[in-house]
Chains A and B, each alone.
Chain A
């Protein structure tokens, strides 16, 4: 397995002076292509901040952040936006779908926003992904008419739309009932296995963590295990 990303000596501080909060304190981590890793740690340990930085939605205060051979600390906003669109997928705890759009429109958004239009190829890929996550009967549904588990599966399909190398999932089952949570996790494992997509899943659920190949424990802004 080749190395997909590496962060080293990563720090992130919010606020200044006496009000400064040091969330990451020199964290180092690397992920390989096709890995399925769980990110564990108590609330406030810096897991979400780390995911946000790895997702290029936020820059670290200091440290190195490389992915696919690119220095993402030095990249500007336009470059980061494009990089994120092409190489990173997100699954959030609260699905975060666009409410005024259908399931299919949500799924193909990452491709359409890059192409400037909804191409037939994108539509075909979107349908294929929705079939794969078991939502073939909900393709044209407004997302407001879907159940929580269905919404989260749409979110998984959207994260995979541009065939990213890395999918970051922040408590993807935290808002789902047990059955729906199991469905979503089965789906993630299947995609990881079939497409060699790297997953980094932030979770408090030990069962989910145990199902991943690797467990990364974060505490006080550092990787401790």
Chain B
């Protein structure tokens, strides 16, 4: 079939302008395919990183026991303890679970936490806050606290509190000042403001405070255990599978972030579908372009096909010549389009450097190989019809033209 390849290449190089035009058309289609892949992928990455990048990807919370009831011998309910609004269930044996969970593949960080509600007081000013106790030295395991600090430090020592910018502004606080934090259990601690963060998320910046785990134990009267374990993954899309693994491994109620994020998932899926449509249209354009150009070439070369057939070229040989032309056009256009796409994406910021006001293009999601492979396959499929038409050429009629 080397000879068929030679004929195909000769036909392509014989009409340089036509071939260049055809390859350019294919390259534009591939360029659009890659651009859309990078844009849709980058957008999804951007949205996810902004929405769930800083939250726990899998969360384990202690199961709340059913309220205690008292029933007499005849089955009548005598008394029932009403469920309190505050979550009081605790996970015990954290020291056992954490190392075990850390062995699960794909886990980046495990953070045992104590969470509760409280009131922050400075002079006469009071603010209701949600309090989270974090392990000292692992403050940024889940939320990148270190990265959001705008004043002071994220380091949580004993008697230190870190809070959001909006809250600090509301209470007119600055780093180094002393304030009082009273937990919902009624325990009060006097703390020094060690750092102020700004995440850009209203709730966090306005009403969240972080203290060390020992401080939280004092505030919520929890000498042992934690109220939850937050887990961060390398790939947040693996949350469902990882949660299942953790459940199987520990028997704990591990919940992935996707539970309760159906709307976000739907939006991302819709966006992905839009991307598929656009990419499909780009491919269809390529296929139609190649098919029409090769059909024209078939028509133009009918006499030559007739001569070849008369000289002993089989129908299979003719099909091979035209399909190879399609494949070569697809390959050339694919590689050209992919190269141009890559070069066009280079000036955009990297995925971890997205800034507001720019398109969140992700150069790593250009699907370059896939674009080239699909283009070659598409071009081959597009060339089958013209190739079959060429193979059916009647040599007698063609030579007589």
Using CB atoms and an 8 Å cutoff, list the residues of chain A in contact with chain B: 52, 55, 57-58, 77-78, 81-82, 84-86, 90, 92, 96-101, 109-110, 112-118, 158, 162
- Residues of B close to A81: CB separation below 8 A: 309, 312-315
In the complex, per-residue mask of B270-310: 1 if CB is within 8 Å of any chain A CB, else 0 = 00000000000000000000000000000000011001111
In chain B, what residue has the closest Cβ to A52?
B396
- Residues of A close to B313: CB separation below 8 A: 81, 113
B251 to chain A, nearest CB (A): 66
B1 to chain A, nearest CB (A): 6
**Most chain B CB atoms below 10 A, which of A52, A77, A78, A100:** A100
A58 adjacent to B3 (CB under 8 Å): no
Checking A58, A86, A100, A101 against B396 with a beta-carbon cut-off of 8 angstroms, the contacting residue is: A58
What is the bound-complex CA distance between A72 and B277, given in angstroms?
A: 54
Assess A96 versus B307: contact at CB under 8 Å? Given A116-B3, A117-B2.
Answer: yes
B399 adjacent to A109 (CB under 8 Å): no
- Residues of B close to A112: CB separation below 8 A: 3
Asked if B317 lies at the interface with its beta carbon under 8 angstroms from chain A, I say yes
What is the bound-complex CA distance between A113 and B396, given in angstroms?
A: 19
B311 adjacent to A100 (CB under 8 Å): no
Using CB atoms and an 8 Å cutoff, list the residues of chain B in contact with chain A: 1-4, 6, 10-11, 14, 303-304, 307-315, 317, 395-396, 399
What is the bound-complex CA distance between A98 and B309, given in angstroms?
A: 12
**Most chain B CB atoms below 10 A, which of A98, A112, A116, A118:** A98
**Most chain A CB atoms below 10 A, which of B4, B315, B396:** B396
Give 7 A-B pairs besides A109-B308, A117-B2 with Cβ atoms closer than 8 angstroms. A84-B310, A90-B310, A92-B399, A96-B307, A98-B304, A113-B308, A113-B313
In chain B, what residue has the closest Cβ to A158?
B311
What is the bound-complex CA distance between A222 and B205, given in angstroms?
A: 103
In chain A, what residue has the closest Cβ to B14?
A100
In chain B, what residue has the closest Cβ to A112?
B3
- Residues of A close to B310: CB separation below 8 A: 55, 57, 84, 90, 96
- Residues of B close to A100: CB separation below 8 A: 10-11, 14
- Residues of B close to A101: CB separation below 8 A: 10
14 A-B pairs with C-beta separation under 8 A: A57-B310, A57-B396, A78-B314, A81-B312, A81-B313, A81-B314, A81-B315, A90-B310, A96-B307, A96-B399, A114-B312, A116-B2, A118-B6, A162-B312
B321 to chain A, nearest CB (A): 10
- Residues of B close to A118: CB separation below 8 A: 3, 6
Query: What are the 7 A-B residue pairs with the smallest beta carbon separation, nearest first?
Result: A85-B312, A100-B14, A117-B2, A113-B313, A110-B311, A81-B314, A96-B307
Checking A86, A98, A116 against B307 with a beta-carbon cut-off of 8 angstroms, the contacting residue is: A98
What is the bound-complex CA distance between A113 and B305, given in angstroms?
A: 13
What is the bound-complex CA distance between A158 and B311, given in angstroms?
A: 9
B311 adjacent to A85 (CB under 8 Å): yes
In chain B, what residue has the closest Cβ to A81?
B314
What is the bound-complex CA distance between A218 and B14, given in angstroms?
A: 42
B396 adjacent to A117 (CB under 8 Å): no
What is the bound-complex CA distance between A138 and B370, given in angstroms?
A: 47
B3 to chain A, nearest CB (A): 5
A123 to chain B, nearest CB (A): 13
- Residues of A close to B315: CB separation below 8 A: 77, 81
- Residues of B close to A109: CB separation below 8 A: 308, 311
A82 adjacent to B312 (CB under 8 Å): yes
- Residues of A close to B303: CB separation below 8 A: 96
B61 to chain A, nearest CB (A): 70
- Residues of B close to A97: CB separation below 8 A: 307
B303 to chain A, nearest CB (A): 7
In chain A, what residue has the closest Cβ to B312?
A85
What is the bound-complex CA distance between A97 and B310, given in angstroms?
A: 11
- Residues of A close to B1: CB separation below 8 A: 116
B260 to chain A, nearest CB (A): 64
A155 to chain B, nearest CB (A): 10
What is the bound-complex CA distance between A99 and B307, given in angstroms?
A: 11
Assess A98 versus B312: contact at CB under 8 Å? Given A113-B3, A113-B317, A117-B2.
Answer: no
A36 to chain B, nearest CB (A): 22
A115 adjacent to B3 (CB under 8 Å): yes
A50 to chain B, nearest CB (A): 12
What is the bound-complex CA distance between A100 and B304, given in angstroms?
A: 10
What is the bound-complex CA distance between A58 and B398, given in angstroms?
A: 13
- Residues of B close to A52: CB separation below 8 A: 396
- Residues of B close to A86: CB separation below 8 A: 312
In chain A, what residue has the closest Cβ to B15?
A100
In chain A, what residue has the closest Cβ to B306?
A96
